[in-house]
Amino acid sequence: MMVSLYSAATGMWAQQYKLDTVSNNLANVDTTSYKKIRAEFQDLVYQYYKNAGTPTAQNSMIPTGIYVGHGVKLSATNRIFTIGNLEQTGNALDLAIAGDGFFQIQLQDGRIAYTRDGSFKIDSEGRIVTANGLSLVPNIVIPADAVSINVSPDGIVSAEMQDGTVQNLGTITLVRFVNPAGLKAIGDNLYVQTVSSGDPIEGTPNQDGFGAIQQGFLEKSNVDVVKEMVDMIIAQRAYELNARTIQTADDMLRTVSTLKR
Amino acid sequence: MVRGIYTAAMGMLNDWFKLDSTANNLANVDTVGYKKDIPTFSAYQERHIYSSLDRRTPIGSLPYSSVVDRVYIDPTEGTLQYTGNFLDLAIEGKGYFAVQRDNEVYYTRAGNFKLDAEGFVVNTDGFRLLDENGEPVRFEEGYSVDEQGFVRDRLGNMVGRIGVYSFASERDLRKVGYTLFTSTDESGPAVAAENFRILTGYVELSNVNALTEMVKMVELQRHFEIAQKVVLAEDEMFSKLFSQVASLK
């Protein structure tokens, strides 16, 4: 008898969760290479009061049975790895991946994390590092007397020296995953591999399906503001609908309580 | 003598059942691939009541009552929403995807698929999507799905076809939760579907119409109040009957 109250409560909870993901997406609308999250729902279990095929008193059968569902649950928060717009910055160490792939970053504890955020800097020792000072793998050191740095679409990093010679400094490799949606976000635009992402597959940019490296560009967030606003409206309305169900159930219970005078 | 009060009370119970069903529909207003439930009620002019099913001793009849007859699925297609995700597949037209866990096959229109670590296409619960031969579908780098469900590799070579199945009577499918269905005797077995299109980058939204569900809810609530009034009126009549008739001397 109280099924509707609980179903509506699950609905309100689910929409609240949806709003949480929408607000995180909107908060990161301007975060370099941020990948939006989508909340997905599933209906819950069904309670069968009568199964299909139950005989009735009139020697007939109930064709499909009588059942009632118990609401909704969050089934997944799916990260959508579509590519964001590339924005030109003109900065030599801003690298964007035009296509599939992740940069590899060494964490302080030695593990490798993955990112599409290519806003690199040079630290005091000339190494290419992220905004947080974590170094790019493979490690590339820019000589102090380099005049300009050039990164080719297939990842070859070279520097023009003061004397006019060009020095090859190494190659940036990329990795990709069978299931990037299975990566675990650890914040700071970094991801680490999990059992469901599979192992990283390493390769050269602009080859074998890897994206080309675009020097002087940054990948913007793939959050679509209009879409998020629409999702926010839907979440709010769906929340209200479920609140309405609770109100109706409550009113009906009150009606019941006036049966006995 | 006291049957009217039972008839009204049964009406109230039916309204509660409707509310439970509506609540579930409204909770799933945003669930991909959800199909709404429609409870139907049937009126019995005379419904014989037996003391037990074995002996079949009639103890009377219950006139003018109504009972929940059945609940069926409304198979109407939900709105297709563009997501841009290459593993979101929506079926336009009649048909269901088949997913498998262990040896059990379920059918669903929730096409928000994922890849597992081994490259198999799975639903949110990790059930594997089946091809037209009932084998799990595996994706590799650069694979795509065309409108007829053919899976092609990066070079455009056909590597398989996603299975799309239909049923003689969709509304008789059995819901098992998690937006999955199984076939029943009444729905008929799964057969290869015809006249469908698979749209990549789309998901099918819930087919719950918030407006009609709200109207239904208002209607059932008012009906509930009316039935309650009937119970009260009957009660008042009994009260008069017992207090006034009995006091006659």
Cα–Cα distance for residue pair B246/B195, rounded to 1 Å: 73
pLDDT of residue B54: 60
Q: What is the pLDDT of residue B246?
A: 65
A137 membership: H or E segment, kind and range = strand A136-137
> Where do runs of H (alpha helix) occur along chain B?
3-27, 210-240
Cα separation of B158 and B80, whole Å? 26
Q: What is the pLDDT of residue A195?
A: 85
Contacts of B211 in chain A (CB under 8 A): none
What does the DSSP 8-state code read for residue A123? -
State residue B98's pLDDT score: 96
Tell me the backbone φ, ψ of residue A144, rounded to 5 degrees: -65, -30
pLDDT score recorded for residue A260: 81
CA distance B78 to B213: 15
B174–A52 CB contact, under 8 Å: yes
Answer yes or no: do B27 and A242 touch at CB < 8 A: yes
Distance between the two ends of chain A, CA-based, in angstroms? 22
Q: How far is CA A51 from CA A89, B69, B70, B187, B246, in A?
A: 64, 12, 10, 14, 48
Question: For residue B84, what pLDDT is reported?
Answer: 82
Which pLDDT score, from 0 to 100, does residue A1 have?
A: 58
The minimum CA-CA distance between B21 and chain A, rounded to whole Å, is 6
Q: What is the pLDDT of residue A180?
A: 86
Number of Cβ within 10 Å of residue B83's Cβ equals 20
Residue pLDDT tens, chain B, 249 long = 567 888 888 889 999 999 999 999 999 999 999 999 999 887 665 555 665 556 666 666 655 677 788 888 999 999 999 988 888 999 999 999 999 998 899 999 999 998 888 889 999 999 999 999 999 999 887 788 999 999 998 888 999 999 999 999 998 899 999 999 999 888 899 999 999 999 999 999 999 999 999 999 999 999 999 999 999 998 898 888 888 876 665
Measured distance CA(A112)–CA(A132) in Å, rounded: 15
Predicted structure pTM score: 0.86
Contacts of A43 in chain B (CB under 8 A): 24, 27-28, 31, 34, 175, 177-179
Among the partner residues A64, A68, A197, nearest to B70 by beta-carbon distance = A64
Nearest to B29 among A5, A75, A241 (CB): A241
How many CB pairs below 8 Å do chains A and B form together? 204
- A80 Cβ partners below 8 Å, 6+ apart? A35, A36, A37, A38, A181, A222, B83, B84, B85
Q: Along chain A (261 residues), what's the average pLDDT of each consecutive run of 10 residues? A: 89 95 96 94 88 62 77 90 91 93 94 94 92 91 90 93 90 90 90 88 91 95 94 95 95 90 73
Q: How close A104 comes to chain B (CA, Å)?
A: 20
pLDDT digits (tens, 9 = 90+) for A192-215: 998 888 889 999 999 888 999 999
pLDDT of residue B62: 59
Pseudo-torsion of CA B238, B244, B245, B246, nearest 10°? 100
Smallest CA–CA distance, residue B218 to chain A, in Å, is 8
- Cis, peptide link before residue A138, omega less than 30° from 0: yes
Nearest CA in chain B to A210: B141
Q: Within 13 Å of residue B27, how many CA atoms lie on the same side as its CB?
A: 32
Nearest to B42 by CA among B70, B61, B63: B70
User: What pLDDT shows up at residue B221?
Assistant: 95
pLDDT confidence of residue B186:
85
CA dist A136 and A237 (Å) reads 45
Q: What is the pLDDT of residue B51?
A: 59
Q: What local confidence, expressed as pLDDT, does residue A209 receive?
A: 84
pLDDT for res A16: 95
- pLDDT the model gives residue B10: 86
Nearest CA in chain A to B170: A64
Q: CA B58, CA B51: separation in Å to the nearest integer?
A: 6
Q: What pLDDT score does A179 carry? A: 82
Pick among A15, A42, A233, A244 to test the B interface (most B CBs inside 10 A): A42
Do B20 and A3 make contact, defined as CB atoms within 8 angstroms? yes
CA B85, CA B113: separation in Å to the nearest integer?
Answer: 10
